[in-house]
Amino acid sequence: MTTLEGMHAPNFTLKNERGNDVSLRDFAGEKYVLLYFYPKDATPGCTTEACDFRDAHESFSDLNAVILGVSPDGEKAHTKFIEKHGLPFSLLIDEDHEVSKEYGVWLLKKMYGKEFMGIERSTFLIDPTGTVIKEWRKVKVKGHVEETLETLRELVKSK
């Protein structure tokens, strides 16, 4: 997969946990978007990552950024996940994997000798003009949120 850094982010419109449409263009000219793709609600790594973003949510908000999580899970799973962990941001539903494919994160994965298609944990920082400023692929959860926050801090400071 070629990098999306420096390119215009693929636009999307997806339903969130409440059944409302959320589009990248909703934030155009106004906010940074931290768009993170994760494999599945309520799994250990995905729960840790979501809770880390939850705990840093105020810091991201202070830097004029919105956090959006994306997975193939449906409305019911997203709602349960949000309620259980007190997540203050929307989770978007990509059941047909179209947005995941556009961002190059729907890939062939291997686990325990089996191959299957799934989301490669990835995060994209998109500026208010819609440009991908930074991307993180094959994300390891530990320390990831701190790294994204520090990148955003440096970016905002340099403006």
Exposed/middle/buried for 45, CB within 10 Å: 0-12, 13-18, 19+?
middle
Question: How far is the C-alpha of 58 from the C-alpha of 137, rounded, in Å?
Answer: 24
Catalytic member of 46, 50, 87, 125: 46
Active-site residue flag, 51: no
Which residues are catalytic, by number?
A: 46
